[in-house]
Amino acid sequence: RPERCSSCGARVFRTVGFGTERVERELAGLLPEARIARMDADSIRRKGRASHILKRFMDHELDILIGTQMVTKGYHFPLVTLVGVIYADMSLLFPDFRAAEWTYQLLSQVAGRAGRGRQRGRVIIQTFNPVHYSIQAAVRHNYAMFFNEEKELRSSLKYPPFSHLMCLRFQGNVRQNTMDSAYQIAKRINRIVNRASFKDEIQVLGPIEAPIPKIKGKYRYQIIIKSKRPRLQSYILQEIESVSDKMLKPKGVSLVWDVDPYYML
């Protein structure tokens, strides 16, 4: 935890967060007459619950619908004239090169829920980073602006579509064993790359603890491999696959290869 804010120098910090339940409570206090419903993973666990909530909203039996990303896609609400997005830039903090793309997609989808009928719609976006190109492009409905900025950034960092990625995910019950195994495999990969004629076409990142470091009691580490050509990944995979079982199984560590991963969490 930092001792002071790098922007304003303040020393006092407080944890902030949001959830649909908290938003529902706040709105109920601010607008006691409003008919409010919440649509998230918890509130629609029972079969048919989601359809029931959506029908009530469509029939104007509800005034406000609070939801997660599930309410942004594919629904037609002709009476909706106002949409609010809370902490719109949270997705920009995801440790993934597609974070800006996801943010732009989400805001564009959300904006499409307002003003679908005869009345004009309005979208209010809460953000701590209003100048970010993904947010500016979404606000301006300017896909070309987003595309050009994103293309330039990915090209400079050699991320897809200017390279191919492969993610090696290590999982184990013992953190030290999992970390040691990831480092052993990384050393072997680097030796293979350094002696190959194509070493300038491959970049090995990691190993590093996964963004979600533990799932269902399993510790997680990962290595990311960038390459210009897919067959270079295949070559490394063949070289490592023959020895990985012998190196990992005694330590209770498993390895999954994810080629061109969509999520790297």
Average pLDDT, the chain: 89
Q: Say which range, 31-45, 64-78, 94-108, has the weakest mean pLDDT.
A: 64-78
User: Residue 251 pLDDT more than 70?
Assistant: yes
174 shares a domain with 98: no
236 shares a domain with 169: yes
The answer to the question of residue 40 being in a domain is: yes
196 shares a domain with 81: no
Q: Which of 93, 112, 118 is nearest to 103 (CA)?
A: 93
What pLDDT score was predicted for residue 78?
Answer: 80
The answer to the question of residue 5 being in a domain is: no
The CATH number covering residue 198 comes to 3.30.70.360
85 shares a domain with 111: yes
| Helices (H), ranges, the chain | 20-30, 49-58, 99-111, 133-139, 143-157, 175-194, 230-248
168 shares a domain with 117: no
137 shares a domain with 85: yes
The domain boundary residue, chosen from 140, 157, 174: 157
169 shares a domain with 153: no
Single-letter residue type at 67:
G
Name the token pair of 139.
């606000």
User: Residue 17 pLDDT more than 60?
Assistant: no
The answer to the question of residue 264 being in a domain is: no
User: What's the chain's length in residues?
Assistant: 265
Supply the range of the domain harboring residue 84: 20-157
What pLDDT score was predicted for residue 1?
Answer: 63
- pTM score of the predicted model: 0.81
191 shares a domain with 120: no
According to DSSP, residue 68 is labeled -
37 shares a domain with 118: yes
Name, in order, each residue with C-beta under 8 angstroms of 168's C-beta and a sequence gap of 6 or more: 182, 185, 222, 223, 224, 225, 255, 256, 257, 258
Cis status, amide bond into 95, omega within 30 of 0? no
Categorize the per-residue pLDDT at 170 as very low, low, confident or very high, splitting at 50, 70 and 90: very high
Q: What CA–CA distance (Å, rounded) separates 166 from 242?
A: 18
What are the CA-CA distances from residue 74 to residues 69, 110, 113, 160, 243 (Å)? Answer: 11, 10, 9, 27, 47
What pLDDT score was predicted for residue 110?
Answer: 82
The answer to the question of residue 255 being in a domain is: yes
176 within 8 A of 209, measured Cβ to Cβ: no
Q: Which of 176, 172, 191 is nearest to 256 (CA)?
A: 172
What pLDDT score was predicted for residue 16?
Answer: 62
Single-letter residue type at 249:
K
The answer to the question of residue 3 being in a domain is: no
Looking at the structure of the chain, the number of domains it has is: 2
110 shares a domain with 170: no
The answer to the question of residue 182 being in a domain is: yes
201 shares a domain with 103: no
125 within 8 A of 68, measured Cβ to Cβ: no
What is the per-residue pLDDT across 118-141, written as a single tens digit (0 to 9) for each? 777 888 999 999 999 999 999 999
224 shares a domain with 253: yes
The domain boundary residue, chosen from 126, 157, 188: 157
